[in-house]
Structures are given as structure tokens and as C-alpha cells.
Amino acid sequence: MTATTAIVSVDSLSVAYRSGGRDVSVVHEVSLDVRPGRTLALVGESGSGKSTVAATLLGHLRHGSRVTAGTVRVDGADVFALPARELRRLRGGTVAMVGQNAGQALTPSMRIGRQIAEVGGDIPVVDLLEQVRLPRPAELARRYPHELSGGQQQRVAIAMAVAARPKVLVLDEPTTGLDVVTQRGVLDLIGALRDELGLAAVLVSHDLGVVAHMADEVTVLRSGRIVEAAPTGRLFAAPQDPYTRRLLASVPRLDDAGLALVGEAGEREVRPRAVVSDASPVAVSARDLTVDYGSSRAVTRAVDGVSFEVRRGEVLALVGESGSGKSTLAWALAGLRAPSGGAMTHESGDLAGPARKRPLSLRRRVQLVFQNADTSLNPRRSVGDAVRRPLRFFGTAGSRAEAAARARQLISDVRLDPAFVDRLPAQLSGGQRQRIGIARALAGEPDVLIADEITTALDVSVQADVLRLLDDLRRERELACLFISHDLAVVRGIADRVVVLRNGVVVEEGPTDAVFADPGHPYTRQLMVAALEPDPDTRPLVADAPEWTDAAEPDDVWTELGDGHRVRRWSPLAREGVA
Amino acid sequence: MLSFIARRVLAAVGTLFLSSVLVFLAVQALPGDVATQVLGRDATPDAVAALREQLKLDRPAWERYVDWTAGALHGDFGVSLVSGKAVGGEVGMYLGNSALIALITVLFAVTGSLLLGILAGLYRDRWPDHLISTVSLVGMSVPEFVVATVLVLCFSVALPVFPAVVLYGPEASVGQLLPAVWLPALALAIVMAAYIVRMARTSVIDVMASEYVTTARLKGLSTWRVVTRHALPGALLPTLHVIALNVAWLAGGVAVVENVFNYPGIGKLMLSSVQNRDLPVIQAIALISAIVYVACNLAADLGAMALNPRLRTRGRT
């Protein structure tokens, strides 16, 4: 051990889960040390055991799991040998945890102030809320969790964690559910508190951008075993293990000029974007589309005067934070939500009506793939059924035998083994389920595919595969694809053109390369500043975004930058007191 | 929050109004009217006509409905055709006796079964859970009159602790009735508790597995505090409506059990009134049952509001 001794020390820890009378090993001989003031990141894909290891620092194991070997020592105490009373003192007092989903981690029936106060410690709640930079702390303390935004809830969870001034902070995917801009704010806060309070931190994350930004050391886990452990700089610059290399290579970069294909040893090859000819017909277009939510008394305009068109074989990305209206737009196009104004047209007809009123031939041509493949497939139906159903429904397969054959074909089209037809969704991995979701959408032989955050819930390597599949399919089938995402790096790789939405309004649009090379709108810049790259030495793509205000006039909305790249008019906002 | 309460109360009043109309119409729809009922089959048409006039049966139905509800609002439900006494007083007397059973049942069954359900949920898949779950399943499957009979066999015949039947009339005092109350209350409680136990168990298990309970534990709070402050409000919420429905069910369940024990309560009065076609009494009892149902559900709604801040803070940003 170097200068200071480790405050957290995990020594050949093994954890097993009992299932069907057998022990299933979830963590295997994991060792790690964290010194005060340092941050260790646990990185891995789902099922790697990273959250399990992190939770052991608080002496917590999931129902049915147990430690089969090794020790976990925190601040000198053997966590799993502590009597109940001592363990309680350790939790909150010495080690505190910030979980992934603050919305679910806060007790809904209890005021925020009380939830923070019951941790103990001598610091007044108001001071704690101020420390996590929440506005009007005294008033906020009297609120209930549901009255706060996601970012605010996560700040409250952080305040709760540092209330008793612990020595170790365990952060389990602390920003995974948050928007890029909010994520950046929360990470900056965590970093500041960690330095201010001299905390040792263990950060669990699947997001290598977050890890590069936050951690001093990184431990890469795979199937419960340590694959590689190294200081952050060295790990990102010269990963040793092929798995680490592959993992790093799978992360889409903001400066990729196309989709990266990742080889077995982690070599990257960027495939140039498909060329969409100007002659290819416009498959679907929207003009001055508005969508409203709520009753006639309180209308919220989710989408406000948006126009776009997508050609055959082209991928148009809709980018924005949650609440920007991008999903609402997708739903309107799919006919699941009635627009309140404007027009939507498909090559072969008007898309004004809701899905159930569109003629069958039109309906099958516009298909939607959902974000969450787990919940959009019927858990009691085989995946073959899920694909066969639209085949029969849209009449694209005549007989029963033909439908069965087509279903197998579609399943192999999405690069899965056709033998999967008889499996249930629960027997598939997340990425495989999402492929089935795509196969189901393809069953109607659509020419417009709406992909609503389809890779958000997936691990990076799986995400790369699904993106690759989508890119292949649009080339093979000349699909017009509306790709909705909040992840700029993903968009950079797959989209031909980008539309940036903010509060239902288009602030910038243009060819992907042009927008990324020279973002014209401060909001686009803000998104790019907040995006984190998997490289600790990376310089941001753009400098800081200026404060701004909208300056669009009804007949003078756009600043044209050429080649279809245009930016909504804005003017800089003078900051008071700043020279 | 106030508008939420106002809406619920208004809905309750509306429900009551509708049920009073239904009760009234149902009684009207019965063949024959009160006059022929009272005078019997051999009455002369003149006598029937005279009585109809005396009972104001010759007036249109809506006028009689208004009279009836106006009276009911003041506690005047008309006159019993059998005893000739005021229905209000008579029903009130029986109702009071039943309320004694209901009160004891609710008190013990609700608190007891909630405790057992919570216990089962907390000790999920261990022996206290298996025991409680099995016993409550048995309680759920056996009809109340069987439970009542078994209880009589055990505690009145084999082990004479409680009286098997009540020998007093409806005028009996609380002191006289008290020894006889326990067996009927126990029979009802066993049947009723089963539902509440199972519901409480499931919701406790759900809530204990939630992220916020895990968070509370990892904050280093004591198990007692985690359960009482963090888990229970969420766990009670779905249980609340099951409790309300079961308490309301008592109004009917009481009728069966009271007959087993010959207990002079509202259930017994209802049965004899139906046998005697004592329409004003039936009408009054039906209306009272409706009031019990509506009141229980209203109480559950207000209870849910107390447990769920989302309902309370609606409209605030």
C-alpha cells in the first residue's frame, strides 16, 4: 500500500446466489482497494456483478445471495462479521449509497426534510440541501419526492448520503436515468462534494464517459470476475485485455464519421455513412406539426410547429432532452397520438388519422420500435408468435405455413438463430429482445421505421450490434428511419441528418457532419458540452455555450448556414455583473 | 386537497341518492301494495281503499318518495306493518345490537389481521408466514355459518365458555348481550380476516422489496423504523380498500351469523321482515346497508389520502 492505507479493502470476495438448489456464482474472487479521497470505478455490462460488489460495502446482499469466500473491510471493520447494531452504524455513518433511480429510492409518503434528517448527523437539513445546490432549501424540505424533478430527486439522494458525513460513498449508476445536461450537473456536484469532504468513492457505471470523467482508478468486471484493473488514464489510453479493448471500442464517439465496427480484439473501423441520393423519394414528411397534451383548460404544447421530411434509405435523428417532445412526435407519426395541427404525409397517403383509422396498407408501412423491448413483447407468447401476428394481420403472409416460414426468415434477418421462434421473451437477453422488436416491426414490410430510443436500455457492445443491424437494414431495404435518441454520440454514427428539439421546437437541423462540426445554436452546444466521452483527456468538441434567448420572428425564423443546415434565430443574453 | 375531499363527499351523497331511489323503486315493484299486505287476502275492496288513503298510497310514487326520504332524513322511516311501532326506533334498536358485534369484529379483525398480514410479509417464506398464510386460506374457504357452528361446538358444547344462543329479545341491555357477542364476532372475524391478511401480506412483500425500503435500510435505520415509517404507509394503501369492502360486507355477513346464534340484531330483523313482508322495515334496512357501504368507501378514500401525498398535493407544483 502506498502513502495512505486503503479505507475500503475487498479481498478475494465471492458471492453466490442460490437457485434451484444450486449455487450460482455471481462474484468470483474480486479484490480491490480504495484510498481516502480517491474514486474507484466498477465497470462492466449487465450481469457483471458490479452492483453486487458495490452493495457489499454496505453489507447488503440481494435476497437469496450470500458471501461464499473473502472479506470486505471498510474503515477497519469486517463488514459481514459485524453485529446488527454495528452494521447499522456503518451504514449511513461510515458508508453511504446513492442509487440509480432517486425517484424510487425516496419514500413517497415522507417529506424530503424528514428523510434526510433521519439519517442522523449534526448538519441541519437546510444546509445539506444548500450544499447540493438546490434552490429554496427551506421550502423544498417540506415537499414530497413526487413534487421534484428527476435531477432534484437525485440531488436530494446525494444530500441524504452525505448527511452523516460518511467516509465512503457508493454511487450505483448515479446518473443513468438523467438527461445529459442534468447528468453533467449531478456529476459535477458529486465531484465537488467528494473533494470537499475528502470522500473515498466507489462508482458503478456502464457509461464509460461518466467513468472517464469521474474515476481515478477503474476495475473492469465481466461475469463476476476482474478482467482488468488500472489507473483511469492508463486504462483508457492502453487497455490490456481484449474484452476491455472491445468494450472501449464499442462506445460511440462524438467524432465518428459513421458507425464504428468493432473487431474481436477491439480494433475499430468506421464505416462511412450510406449515401442517400437526392433522387430517392421522400417517404414521410411532417409540416407545421403541433401536438398538445392535457385538457382544454390547461394545454401543454409538446410539439410546436415541427416540419421535416425523411427520404427512402435515410436516417433522420430527433435529438433532445426528455420533455423536448421527440417521443411525442414519434407517437403522432405512428398514429398513436392525435396531432392538434399541421399535416403528416406518407408517399402513399395522408397520415392525419389515428392508426386505427388508417387503411391497413398505409398502417403497415409506418412501424414503431419501442424503447423497452422487455415490456413491449407479450411475456406469455413465443417470439415467433410476436413476429407471426403482424404477418397474418397485415396479410403479408397468406397461409399459416407461409407465415411460419416468413417469421423464421425475419428472425434470421435480424441476425438471430431462427430456432428462437419457440422461445419466450424472458429466455432472451435484452439485445435479442430488441432484435425481435425490430423483426416484428419489419413483418409489415414497412418503408418507414420509427426507432424510439431503441438502444437506451442496452449495454454498449449490444448497442453497437443493434445499431449496426439497423444500419444494415436501412441499406438493404431502403428504409426511411426516424431515429429518436438523447445520445449525441449514437446519433453521430447512424444519422444522416439531425433535428435538435427543445421544448417541442426545432432549434437546429442539418446534415449530421455539418451540425457536429459547427453547432449553430447554443442549446446544441450545451448538449455537446454536457456529453461525456470515454477518454479522460478529451477536450470538449465545442467551447462553453453562451446564455441565450430566442429571437425567432414569425416570418424570420431561421439562419441558413447552407446545405440544409439551419439554426433558429437567437440572441446572446448579457450576463449581469460580467464584463 | 379540499376539492378532492369535496368531490369524494359529493360522489358519496350522489351514490346514496341513487341507492335510495333504487330501494324505493324495488319495493314499489313488488306485487301488491302495503294495504293488501296488511289486510290480507280476505279484505274487502272498500277496506283496502280506505287503508290506501290512510297510508297515502293513492298519491303518485314520486310524492311518496319525497315524503319517505324527507322522513328518512329525520330518522322517520314510517310505521312497521307488523308491530305498528315506528320503524326508525325498532330498526335502531336492532341496529344497535348488531353494531356491538360489528364494532368488536372490526376492532379485533382489522387490527389482528393487519398485524398478522404484516408479520407474514416480513417473515416471507419462513414458518410464521407459512402458518399464517395457511390458516388464513382455510378461513377464507369455509363459509361463515360453518365457522359459527364449529365455534359453537367448541366453545359452547365441548367447552361451555360462551352461550350457544341468545335468549334475550331486542330490548336486551349491552350487559346482557355482551357474553353472547364474542362467538358471532369471532366467526365473522375469521372469515373477514383471511382477505385482509392475504392482501396485507402481499403488499408488505411488494413494498419491502422496493428500492426506497432498501435505501432506508442502507441509511442505517433500525428495522422498526424502516417498517413503520417507510414501508407501512405504502403497504397499507392497497389494503385499505380491502378493509373497507370487508367492513361493508359485515352488513350482510352479520345476517347469517346472527341467525345461527339467534342474536337479536339487524340481520335477524331483516329476515323476519322479509318473511312478514314488512315493507317499510325492509326499505329502511336496505337504505342503511347502502349508507354503511358508502361510508366505508368514503372512509377508505380519505384514509388513502392521508397515506398518499400525491392525492393531497394535487394542484401544487
CB contact under 8 A, A107 and B317: no
* CATH superfamily of the domain spanning A8-248: P-loop containing nucleotide triphosphate hydrolases (3.40.50.300)
Question: Is residue B273 a contact partner of residue B285, using CB atoms and an 8 Å limit?
Answer: yes
Tens of pLDDT, residues A446-458: 999 999 988 887 8
Q: Give the whole-angstrom CA distance, residue A491 versus residue A527.
A: 12
Strand residues in B99-191 grouped as ranges (E): none
Sorted by where each begins, the domain ranges of chain A are: 8-248, 282-365+446-572, 374-445
CATH of A282-365+446-572, one of 3.30.470.20, 1.20.1420.30, 3.40.1390.10, 3.40.50.300: 3.40.50.300
Q: Which of A33-42, A159-168, A284-293, A298-307 has the lowest mean pLDDT?
A: A298-307
**What's chain A's average pLDDT?**
88
Please choose, from the candidates A313, A306, A312, the residue with its C-alpha nearest in 3D space to the C-alpha of residue A286.
A306
CATH of B87-312, one of 2.60.40.10, 1.10.3720.10, 1.10.220.10, 3.20.20.450: 1.10.3720.10
Picking from B210, B307, B308, the nearest residue to A104 by CB comes out as B210
Tens of pLDDT, residues B75-124: 777 777 777 788 888 888 888 888 888 888 888 888 898 899 999 988 88
Q: Give the whole-angstrom CA distance, residue B247 versus residue B104.
A: 12
CA angle A38, A44, A46 (to 5 degrees): 130
Count other C-beta atoms under 10 Å from residue A89's C-beta.
16
Q: Hey, is A135 helix, strand or coil?
A: coil
Q: What pLDDT score does A32 carry?
A: 94
CA distance A499 to chain B (A): 31
DSSP single-letter state for residue A297: S
Q: Which of A131-140, A141-150, A256-265, A557-566 has the lowest mean pLDDT?
A: A256-265
Q: What pLDDT score does B33 carry?
A: 67
pLDDT bin (cut points 50, 70, 90) of residue B317 is: very low
Q: Which of A242-246, A273-277, A292-296 has the lowest mean pLDDT?
A: A292-296
Question: Is residue A214 a contact partner of residue A182, using CB atoms and an 8 Å limit?
Answer: no
CA A266 to the chain's CA centroid? 22
CA distance A109 to chain B (A): 6
Q: What pLDDT score does A374 carry?
A: 79
The answer to whether A8-248 and A282-365+446-572 have equal CATH topology is yes
CA distance B231 to chain A (A): 8
- Judged against a pLDDT cut of 70, whether residue A575 lies above it is answered with no
Burial class for A307, CB neighbours closer than 10 Å (0-12, 13-18, 19+): middle
Q: Hey, is A75 helix, strand or coil?
A: coil
More confident residue, B250 or A3: B250
Count other C-beta atoms under 10 Å from residue B27's C-beta.
16
Please choose, from the candidates A428, A493, A484, A437, the residue with its C-alpha nearest in 3D space to the C-alpha of residue A460.
A493
When pLDDT is averaged across residues B153-182 and rounded to a whole number, the result is: 82
Q: Give the whole-angstrom CA distance, residue B308 versus residue B246.
A: 21
Sorted by where each begins, the domain ranges of chain B are: 2-73, 87-312
List CB contacts (< 8 A) between A63 and chain B: 209
pLDDT bin (cut points 50, 70, 90) of residue A461 is: confident
- Judged against a pLDDT cut of 60, whether residue A194 lies above it is answered with yes
CB contact under 8 A, A58 and B225: no
Q: What pLDDT score does A541 carry?
A: 66
Picking from A99, A109, A157, the nearest residue to B233 by CB comes out as A109
List CB contacts (< 8 A) between B313 and chain A: 144, 146-147
pLDDT bin (cut points 50, 70, 90) of residue B231 is: very high
When pLDDT is averaged across residues A260-280 and rounded to a whole number, the result is: 82
DSSP single-letter state for residue B109: I
Please choose, from the candidates B24, B23, B52, B22, the residue with its C-alpha nearest in 3D space to the C-alpha of residue B36.
B52
Any bridge partners for residue A344, and if so which?
Answer: A286
Q: Which of B122, B205, B212 to mutate to test the interface with A (most CBs of A within 10 A)?
A: B212
Nearest CA in chain B to A148: B317
Read out DSSP for B148-170?
Answer: HHHHHIIIIIIS-SS-SS--S-T
pLDDT bin (cut points 50, 70, 90) of residue A221 is: very high
Look up the pTM and report it. Answer: 0.81
Q: What pLDDT score does A2 carry?
A: 47
Q: Hey, is A492 helix, strand or coil?
A: helix
CB contact under 8 A, A144 and B309: yes
B interface with A, Cβ–Cβ < 8 A, is 209-222, 225, 229-230, 233-234, 307-310, 313, 316-317
More confident residue, B12 or B249: B12
List CB contacts (< 8 A) between A109 and chain B: 233-234, 307-309
Cα–Cα distances (Å) from B66 to A359, B9, B59, B92, in that order, read: 56, 22, 11, 22
CB contact under 8 A, B229 and A110: yes
Tens of pLDDT, residues B39-76: 776 777 787 788 777 777 777 778 888 888 888 887 77
When pLDDT is averaged across residues A296-314 and rounded to a whole number, the result is: 86
Place of cell 462506445: A251
- Judged against a pLDDT cut of 70, whether residue B34 lies above it is answered with no
Taken in order B137, B140, B141, B143, the sign of the CA dihedral is positive
Share of chain A above pLDDT 70, in %: 97
CA distance B243 to chain A (A): 20
Residues 6 or more apart whose CB falls under 8 angstroms from that of B277 comprise B37, B81
More confident residue, A263 or A382: A382
List CB contacts (< 8 A) between B217 and chain A: 60, 91
Please choose, from the candidates B109, B58, B29, the residue with its C-alpha nearest in 3D space to the C-alpha of residue B283.
B29
Segment holding A472, helix H or strand E: helix A460-477
CA distance B235 to chain A (A): 11
Question: Is residue B189 a contact partner of residue B112, using CB atoms and an 8 Å limit?
Answer: yes
Q: What pLDDT score does B276 carry?
A: 81
